[in-house]
Amino acid sequence: MKSVWLTEKNVNQYPKINKSCTKNIVVVGGGIAGYLTAFNLSQKGHEVTLIEAQNLFNGTTGFTTAHIDALHSLFYKDLQKMSTDKARLYYWSQKNAIDDYESLIKKYNIQCDFKRVDSFILAQQQDVQKLKKEYEALKAIGEHPDFFVSTDIFGENMCALKVPFMAIFDPIKFLRALPVNFEIFENSRITDVDFNNKILYCGKIAIKANKIIIATNYPIINVPGWYFLRMYKSTSYAVSVKSKTELTKIYQSTSESGITLRSNNDQLIVGGLDHRTGRVDDTTKYQTLLKKVQTIEQNASITHHWSANDCVTFDGIPFIGYYSKKSKDIYVITGFSKYGMANALTASKVISDLIEKKPNKYQKLFSPSRTTPLFVFLKNLLSVVSNLVIMPLILPFKSYKSLKKGEGRIVMYFGSKRAVYKDEKGKYHVCQALCAHLKCQLKFNMVDKTWDCPCHGSRFDIDGNLLVGPSVKSLKNYPN
């Protein structure tokens, strides 16, 4: 799995934290949200330390399709039903973020392939009424979209709406070009947080902080906050192909598969085919995306392919603010759904203003303490009961000997229930069957060859090494 943005070999550019210490402001998580927050605070004169579990930008940030887009499929028609003011405020938070990116890029003369583009939402003809409702919602909140009854894309006749002046860029080039006026540690995974005493633990190393910002994609601490009952993880896929056609627009569809399309210099990037993490509904994700893009570039072949792991909140609006009502010096940034680029910059400004006790017009909108409907808690709880309570008690019928090459499954392995993968050479890779986070039974992702948690979205490689949280531990491995 190789992202088009992460073409350079991982380099440990910054040291690993190796001793207990006291810091002023600590940001946990070296993705775009954490990095921009550290940057923003340092620009205002604060002493900031950024701690990343692996290498900078190697998480969700490195596996994005990098649309900086205020359009979110059919999001605003539903949000407007709750509140036109809320829909308007959220939309302009996204638009303003695009302007802020452009200002930073011009200020520091950053070469990151930033381009202003028209953004299109596409819908099948049978969904024309849904798209018209989104069109009307956008007009109601102050935008001026265009509506097209018929347009051709992906070899299909679709209806569409368009809004100009959205953007695309290379997020890694952008981030690496920003001036670094803050301390950075890489390969330093935070494994626990003492909320009462504001102490972070990297294994046995203790980091005392005045203020802590958790920007780890999925929050690594379960209580307080209860984020594992307030949102879920979604996996989406992307491929990049060589192309002679450079698009001057970006596209997203309203279909359940959520297809997106953009150019990246001499390449086309198509993404989508979302599903709840740990619940793969098809093993041909990359091939399906290739077929989509081949309707535009007939002889295209995949040069890069990757998947992203995103957090989705109950209302589609991120959680940005105090980690909980009682945690006034501990903050959280999470829940960007598929729209992390604009939200990351917005989040960095909201958190900076909270720390400096300045008013921010988006603070209430993104507040993690906003009311979560009871049915959301119950829905998320019920959705994990099978894998958290029932499945761990059931012994599998099949033995590891039944596995085919390239197959992974929960099976019996010498009398014990294990997660076993048989590689192409016939070697068995054996791990514990339950996630290291809250002990949900794992499922094998045949697309990416990973063990995924269907409860809270942690992902592990075939040898149990942690790839994606909220788990802070790898799986126990059983050498054979």
Q: What is the CATH number of the domain that holds 331?
A: 3.50.50.60
CA distances, 39 to each of 190, 309, 352, 405 (Å) = 20, 24, 10, 47
Shared domain check, 257 and 189:
no
Residues 149 and 238 in one domain: yes
Q: Is residue 283 part of a domain?
A: yes
Phi first, then psi: what are they for 347, rounded to 5°? -60, -40
Range(s) of the domain holding residue 449: 391-468
| Residues 398 and 411: beta-carbon distance below 8 Å | yes
Q: Nearest 5°: phi and psi at 239?
A: -135, 150
What average pLDDT score do residues 285-292 get? 91
Judge whether 279 lies within some domain. Answer: yes
The answer to whether residue 300 sits within a structural domain is yes
> Residue 195's Cα: distance from chain center in Å?
25
What is the pLDDT confidence band of residue 374, given thresholds at 50, 70 and 90? low
Is 37 domain-assigned?
A: yes
Q: What percent of the chain has pLDDT over 70?
A: 95
Whether residue 48 is contained in a domain is answered as yes
What per-residue string of b and e applies to 412-427 under the rule 16 or more CB within 10 Å gives b? Answer: bbeeebbbbbbeeeee
- Closest to 311 (Cα-Cα) out of 100, 464, 438, 468: 468
Q: What is the Cα–Cα distance from 30 to 185, expressed in whole angstroms?
A: 9
- Please indicate, yes or no, whether residues 188 and 222 belong to a single structural domain of this protein: yes
User: How many domains does the chain divide into?
Assistant: 3
Is there a single domain that holds both residue 442 and residue 327? no
Residues 222 and 322 in one domain: yes
Q: What is the pLDDT of residue 472?
A: 87
> Do 212 and 323 belong together in one domain?
yes
Q: Are residues 157 and 236 in the same domain?
A: yes
Distance CA 26, CA 183 (A): 9
- Same domain, yes or no: 33 and 161: no
Note the pLDDT of residue 9: 60
Confidence of residue 157 (pLDDT cuts 50, 70, 90): confident
Contact status, residue 162 vs residue 148, Cβ threshold 8 Å: yes
- For residues 366-375, average pLDDT: 80
Q: What predicted TM-score, i.e. pTM, was given to this entire model?
A: 0.92
Statement to judge: residues 267 and 411 lie in one domain = no
CA distance 334 to 27: 13
With a cut of 90, say whether residue 326 has pLDDT above it: no
Pairwise pLDDT comparison (350 vs 415), residue with the higher score: 350
Same domain, 238 and 307: yes
The CATH code of the domain that includes 140 is 3.30.9.10
Judge whether 94 lies within some domain. no
Do 55 and 25 lie in a common domain? yes
Is 343 in the same domain as 216? Answer: yes
